[in-house]
Amino acid sequence: MLISKKDLLAETGISYGQLYRWKRQGLIPDEWFIKQSTFTGQETFFPKKQILARINAIQRLKDQYSLEELAKMLSPEISERMFSHRDLEIIEEVENGLIPLFFQVFEKKSFSFIEVLFLIAISTFYKKHDLELVDVENLCLGAKDYLDEIKQTDFLCLLLSHDGGYFTVIQDENVPVFIDKRIKKVDEIRLNEVSSNMKLKYRKSFNFEFDEERETNEQKITLMKPGEVLT
């Protein structure tokens, strides 16, 4: 059962700004922001049971914990989960032949959840558009310095081309970007969709939590005292 954004704000008493601030801070999963067409245009809906439980948990706990601590408690798979070389080999959407290149270019021993979504996007571009290895290397080099700053998944990963070279842009879905007409947009991938598919497909492999499990954990968290550990 879904609830509209308008009804959600009225029922919980939070503001539009609060809702999207909690989203940016990783307290509310991006996948819960569901856009649907209505007779008045496109509107945003949420899974009612889960979003009400999440907002209730945030309101109860925000004075006891920092928002960063809450994000880790409520969305641990995004905040803390790191993926090793062996983990990437499990993820079919990551091109196996590119894995050594990814580790070499990024100079990392493991990747965050957001970084893995980017690697899946690059792998998709590589296979779909017959990119060369040097193209993949350049795309990774161009993105490596800002990926750490991305803390949520409601972004588009754009593949652009100009004068025979390829470039990536990570664009907020809700903010329009006007690209120079001399630059060609080759493709785009919604990181939200990649995230949802990955969590569903690899739930058992990586112990991702889903809505019903999160709700149970949130109910436990509301009974915790500061300093206690959720088991």
3-state secondary structure 49-62: HHHHHHHHHHHHHC
**Share of residues in the chain with pLDDT > 70 (%):** 85
Confidence check: pLDDT of 92 > 70: yes
Which range of 91-105, 187-201, 203-217 scores highest in mean pLDDT? It is 91-105
Mean per-residue pLDDT, 22-48: 85
Model confidence at 231, pLDDT cuts 50, 70, 90, reads very low
Strands 34-38 and 41-47: antiparallel
* Statement: residue 224 has pLDDT above 60: no
Q: Is the pLDDT of residue 123 over 80?
A: yes
* Least confident stretch, 3-7, 155-159, 203-207: 203-207
Out of 3.20.20.480, 3.30.1490.20, 3.40.50.300, 1.10.1660.10, the CATH code matching 2-79+210-221 is 1.10.1660.10
- Please compute the mean of the pLDDT values over residues 134-147 and round it to a whole number: 95
Mean pLDDT of the chain: 85
Angle between helices 48-61 and 5-12 (to 10 degrees): 40
Predicted pLDDT at 149? 83
User: What global pTM score does this model have?
Assistant: 0.65
Domain range summary for the chain, segments of one domain joined by +: 2-79+210-221, 92-201
- Binned at pLDDT 50, 70 and 90, residue 144 comes out as very high
